[in-house]
Every structure is written in C-alpha cells, then in structure tokens.
C-alpha cells in the first residue's frame, strides 16, 4: 500500500489535477471541410489533383469528335499505369472519370477486365436452377466496347535544401478497338512547390 | 466617270451589307455565342459582368473576354483572365452550370488553382459537363 503522508499528498494532488486539466485542453478538434476545396497540406498527390485531373480529362473527352457526335460510344476502362515513385490509387482516378462521363450521358461503359469475373459469376448464377429462366439474364448478350480508355501518370521530383518541386503529368488515351487508331488523347500537368520556413 | 462612282458606291454598299450581316448573325438571347437569356448585353464588359462572380476574398484578376461556342450539343467556353498588376497573383476558379429552369445542372465543380504572372493573360477553357447545362457562371476566389 502506498503511503501518502500529508505534505506529499499536498504536492501530488494539485499536480495530478493540473495534468488532468492539461489532458482535457489537448482535445482534438474535428470539423467538416470542403471536399472540393483546394488541399495543400503536403505536395504529394492529393484530392485536388485527383479532382482536377478527372474534371479536365472528362471535359476534354466530351469535346472530342468521337464523343461529341452524339453516337453514345461504348467504352471500356483499362489500366492507368502509375509511373511515379508515390503510391497513387489510379483506379480512383479512372473511377472518377468514368462517373463524370457516365453522368454526362454522352458515353456508355462496358464491363471492364477488373469487373469481368463478377459479371460472369452473376450470369452463371442466374443460369442456375434457382432462377426463372424467362426472367434471368442470358449468356452471349454482352456488348463489346468500341473504344478502350487507358493512360499513365508520371512525375518528376526535385529537391534541394528548402525547396521541393513536384511535377505530375497525367495522360489519357481513347483507342479504337476495331482498327487500333488513337481517337483522342489529352494531358493534364500539375506543378506543386513546397518551400520550408 | 459616273460609272466609276456607281461601282464605288455599290462596293461600299456591299461591304456595309457584309458587316451588317455579321452583326445580325448572333441569335437572340446570345452574346458572343454565350447564353444571356433576357439580359441586356451590348458589349463584352456587359457580358463579363453578367457571367463572372466573385466569392470569398475578392481578387484583382479581371475577366476581359469571353466567348462561347457549341461542340456537339455541349457549350464550350473560353474566358481570358488578365492580371494587370506588377505582382504574381494566385486565384481559384470554377464554373457553375445552370439548366433550362435556372437550377444547378451539375454538382459544384472543384476549385482549380491558377497562378498568374505579373502583367499577363491566361485563357481558361472548359466544356459543359452535360447537355442539360444551358447557362453558366465563372466563379473567382482570391488565394491571397
């Protein structure tokens, strides 16, 4: 048992109270922010970069003759290669581009390679004995894409003592599946510089 | 002599008609290709005043020219921004798209940062995200 004699207790109790108050004051503050605001916490790839790339690519593609003709081209999304030294979820970029294009009503998307397994599994499931054959999806009716979308993201990073400069270049291409022609391509460049102090 | 004067007069008249035809090319409800609805726009300044809004911190960057055209059934917009100060300026901008009923035709765009060198011009271009967007505003916000 700890013996707290009176003089010692007199010193310890205010000390403990002070620590408790200090711990209470250090409470983190949580606030909602603007998801579409400009984020400059670090100069690594961030939400503003993702949103700007998705918007820029989408608007450019909507103005391309192959899309602007109102033919509702069918497109499949392929890989965007990350050639930077950072970890970048390139799927998040292509998902944003696909969502904006689909919402525009100018393009339709066919199932891509990443989602093909799930598509086949669902088709096979519906062909099982548990489903009404008149209401289940038939096999052999999927529509192939006329165009495939692919791209890459590269970066150049330079750093001296107090300055770090990051340059990102995102390139997206739309290829004609049948004849192998490049129907549209565009780039978005982003430069961010951090200066210490 | 008389014939020469007649030919000159005819040429002047033809040129005049040509200019008049160009002026009359603009459809009603449009100015410099941009939709203006019932607003009275008689100059580029009027158009810019109608289409450009500032939010938050005011910037000294000015939109000086604006032109619109159609690409397929989507609006394409070019806006010239001018920094006439002797300092580098940083702004954020975005377009706001409006549908036929005056409602938002598209969700709020992301703010796009823009660096403008001293005494310089930059043209920002965009295409409407959907054919439901029949009008727009350019929104500027100072980063200073």
Q: How far is CA B63 from CA A170, B32, B78, in A?
A: 28, 14, 10
Whether residue A51 and residue B127 make contact (CB cut-off 8 A), yes or no, is no
pLDDT tens-place string over residues A120-174: 999 999 999 999 999 999 999 999 999 999 999 999 999 999 999 999 999 999 9
> B126 and chain A: CB distance < 8 Å anywhere?
yes
Structural domain boundaries of chain B? 28-142
Q: How confident is residue B28, by pLDDT bands cut at 50, 70 and 90?
A: confident
* Domain B28-142 listed as CATH 3.40.50.10490: no
Q: Which helix (H) or strand (E) covers residue B69, if one does?
A: strand B62-71
Place of tokens 């009176």: A6
pLDDT value at A76 more than 60 = yes
Residues B59-92: b if buried by 16+ CB within 10 A, e if exposed: bebebeebbbeeebebbbbbbbbbbeeeeebebb
Structure tokens at A22: 């200090």
* Nearest residue in chain B measured CA to CA from A106: B130
Q: Which of B72, B95, B132 to mutate to test the interface with A (most CBs of A within 10 A)?
A: B72
Whether residue A48 and residue B113 make contact (CB cut-off 8 A), yes or no, is yes
Give the three-state DSSP class for A67: helix
- The reported pLDDT for the residue numbered B20 is 45
> A71 and chain B: CB distance < 8 Å anywhere?
no
Report d(CA A102, CA A176) in Å as an integer.
19
Structure tokens at A100: 């904006």
Whether residue A55 and residue B109 make contact (CB cut-off 8 A), yes or no, is yes
> A57 and chain B: CB distance < 8 Å anywhere?
no
- The reported pLDDT for the residue numbered A154 is 97
Structural domain boundaries of chain A? 43-110+145-195
pLDDT tens-place string over residues B101-144: 999 999 999 999 999 999 999 999 999 999 999 999 999 999 88
Between strands B30-31 and B62-71, the pairing is unpaired
- CATH class held by domain A43-110+145-195: alpha beta
User: Measured between CA atoms, how close is A116 to chain B, in angstroms?
Assistant: 28
pLDDT value at A8 more than 80 = no
- The reported pLDDT for the residue numbered A72 is 93
Report d(CA A50, CA A124) in Å as an integer.
36
ipTM associated with this complex: 0.80
Report d(CA A39, CA A21) in Å as an integer.
34
């Amino acid at each position: 048992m700890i013996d707290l004699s009176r003089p010692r207790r007199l010193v310890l109790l205010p000390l403990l109270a002070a620590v408790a108050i200090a711990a209470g004051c250090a409470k983190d503050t949580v606030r909602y922010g603007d998801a579409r605001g400009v984020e400059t916490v670090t100069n690594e790839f961030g939400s503003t970069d993702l949103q700007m790339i998705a918007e820029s690519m989408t608007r450019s593609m909507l103005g391309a003759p192959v899309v602007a003709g109102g033919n509702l081209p069918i497109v499949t999304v392929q890989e965007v290669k990350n050639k930077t030294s950072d970890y970048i979820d390139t799927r998040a970029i292509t998902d944003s581009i696909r969502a904006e294009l689909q919402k525009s009503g100018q393009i339709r998307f066919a199932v891509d390679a990443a989602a093909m397994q799930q598509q086949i599994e669902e088709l096979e499931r519906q062909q099982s004995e548990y489903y009404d054959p008149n209401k289940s999806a038939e096999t052999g009716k999927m529509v192939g894409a006329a165009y495939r979308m692919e791209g890459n993201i590269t970066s150049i990073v330079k750093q001296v003592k107090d300055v770090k400069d990051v340059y990102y270049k995102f390139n997206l291409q739309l290829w004609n599946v049948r004849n192998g022609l490049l129907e549209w391509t565009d780039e978005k460049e982003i430069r961010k510089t951090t200066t210490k102090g | 002599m008389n014939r020469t004067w007649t030919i000159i007069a005819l040429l002047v008249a033809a040129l005049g008609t040509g200019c008049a035809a160009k002026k009359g090319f603009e459809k009603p409800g449009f100015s410099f290709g941009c939709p203006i609805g019932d607003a009275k726009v008689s100059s580029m300044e009027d158009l810019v005043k109608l289409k450009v809004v500032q939010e938050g911190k005011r910037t000294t960057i000015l939109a000086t020219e604006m032109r619109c055209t159609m690409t397929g059934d989507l609006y394409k917009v070019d806006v010239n921004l001018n920094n006439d100060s002797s300092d580098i300026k940083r702004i954020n901008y975005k377009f706001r798209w409006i549908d036929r009923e005056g409602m938002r035709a598209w969700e709020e765009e992301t703010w796009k940062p823009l660096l403008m060198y001293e005494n310089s011009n930059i043209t920002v271009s965009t295409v409407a995200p959907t054919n439901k967007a029949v009008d727009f505003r350019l929104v500027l916000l100072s980063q200073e």
